[in-house]
């Protein structure tokens, strides 16, 4: 069957594993990012986000598995692939001695589609002066400049590793969101990693949760949110240890009142809760942050994990 061109992935990782000594940083990772999608990658510190992004950028070669970006291996075709990517790295190294306008002019040489007027408008939005030396910029101003450099080439793919670190809440909430959504509406693709779950929830179309090198969830945000449920449960008497009820993969709470997390159909699980003598007193759609915490906590405390 001919593949739908809209569904053809811009980024694809198939069975990618990566080990650093005893640490399995990526464990059989499969990810597809179709064109025009905003893909948010979330995980705790050391979960493997930067390692995954470095494979997309060809900075790390897949030891096991296959990476393809625009249909090419970024490690063996760096020029073709990187000229189509705007990239903001986690560390955001920039040449300290250059002035902002000199750095922009230097970067322009690498990108045929560099958009000078867009670069200017981003500098204005980010309140950056063209004459300031990079070394004199504050952490937040450097983050803003890093974003300008990633966006001004008007690349087909934008890869942002922790774009929010260093940005103040205003830029994070309003400007970053506006920029990322505009990019997606223009049919370009965004891959970004973040610890800020509320930000990911506002911006991303698809979300992958990575934990200890494994992708434990990878779905469009709406389906992901619709498949998880949280109920508030009241027990007759204080419960000291986390309750265990078949179907619930995580519990948060204390004494008589607990929140139970489960996925799938509600009737079965709630019936089991009631049969255990407890009462379901509220039902709420969990936020992405709550789903993330419940999933990661369940894996880390070795409680029954959802299939």
Query: Which residues contribute to the site for ligand ATP (CB under 6 A)?
Result: 20, 23, 25, 43, 45-51, 90
Closest contact distance (angstroms) between CB of 209 and ligand ATP is 11
Give me the least distance between CB of 118 and ligand ATP, in Å please.
29
Q: How far is the CB of 201 from ligand ATP (least distance, A)?
A: 18
Closer residue to ligand ATP in complex, CB, 47/122: 47
- Residue 240 φ then ψ, to 5°: -80, -50
> Contact at 8 Å (CB) between 296 and 289?
no
- The candidate with the shortest Cα–Cα distance to 123, out of 111, 109, 105, is 105
Identity of the residue, 53 or 248, whose beta carbon is nearer to ligand ATP in the bound complex: 53
25/203 with CB nearer ligand ATP: 25
> Measured from the CB of residue 16, what is the shortest distance to ligand ATP in angstroms?
12
Least distance in Å: CB of 247 to ligand ATP?
Answer: 30
The minimum distance between CB 213 and ligand ATP, in angstroms, equals 7
Nearer to ligand ATP, 48 or 86 (CB): 48
Q: Residue 127 and residue 125: Cα distance in Å, rounded? A: 6
Q: What does residue 116 show for φ and ψ, rounded to 5 degrees?
A: -60, -40
Q: How far is the CB of 60 from ligand ATP (least distance, A)?
A: 8
Nearer to ligand ATP, 44 or 252 (CB): 44
Task: Give the 3-state secondary structure of residue 220.
Answer: strand
DSSP β-ladder status, 38-42 and 206-211:
parallel
C-alpha span between 97 and 260 (Å, rounded): 54
The smaller minimum CB distance to ligand ATP, of residues 84 and 212, is found at 212
Beta carbon nearer to ligand ATP, 9 or 213: 213
Cβ 29 to ligand ATP shortest distance, Å: 11
C-alpha–C-alpha distance, residues 39 and 118, integer Å: 23
Nearer to ligand ATP, 73 or 90 (CB): 90
Which strand ranges, in their side-by-side order, compose the sheet holding 157-161? 85-88, 157-161, 189-194, 38-42, 206-211, 214-220
The answer to whether 270 touches 280, Cβ cutoff 8 Å, is yes
Helices marked H in 62-188 — which ranges?
78-82, 100-108, 116-125, 139-151, 169-170, 177-185
Q: CA–CA separation, 144 vs 103, rounded Å? A: 14
């Amino acid at each position: 069957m001919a593949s739908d061109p809209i569904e053809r992935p811009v980024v694809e990782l198939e069975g990618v594993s990566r080990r650093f000594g005893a640490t399995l940083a990526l464990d059989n990772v499969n990810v597809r990012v179709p064109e025009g999608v905003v893909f948010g990658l979330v995980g705790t510190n050391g979960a493997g986000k930067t390692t995954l992004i470095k494979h997309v950028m060809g900075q790390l070669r897949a030891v096991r598995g296959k990476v393809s970006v625009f249909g090419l291996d970024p490690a063996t075709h760096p020029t073709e692939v990187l000229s189509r990517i705007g990239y903001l790295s986690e560390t955001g190294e920039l040449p300290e001695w250059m002035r902002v306008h000199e750095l922009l002019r230097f970067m322009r040489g690498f990108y045929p589609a560099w958009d000078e007027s867009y670069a200017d408008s981003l500098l204005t939005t980010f309140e950056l002066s063209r004459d300031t030396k990079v070394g004199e910029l504050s952490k937040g101003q450097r983050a803003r400049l890093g974003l300008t450099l990633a966006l001004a080439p008007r690349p087909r793919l934008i890869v942002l590793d922790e774009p929010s670190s260093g940005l103040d809440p205003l830029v994070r909430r309003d400007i970053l969101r506006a920029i990322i959504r505009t990019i997606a509406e223009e049919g370009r693709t965004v891959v970004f990693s973040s610890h800020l779950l509320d930000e990911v929830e506002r911006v991303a179309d698809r979300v992958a949760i990575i934990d200890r090198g494994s992708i434990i969830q990878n779905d469009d945000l709406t389906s992901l949110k619709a498949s998880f449920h949280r109920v508030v449960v009241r027990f007759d008497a204080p419960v000291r240890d986390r309750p265990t009820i078949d179907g619930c993969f995580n519990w948060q709470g204390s004494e008589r009142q607990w929140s139970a997390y489960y996925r799938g159909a509600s009737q079965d699980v709630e019936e089991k809760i009631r049969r255990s003598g407890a009462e379901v007193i509220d039902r709420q759609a969990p936020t992405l942050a709550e789903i993330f915490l419940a999933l990661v906590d369940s894996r880390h405390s070795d409680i029954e994990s959802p299939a």
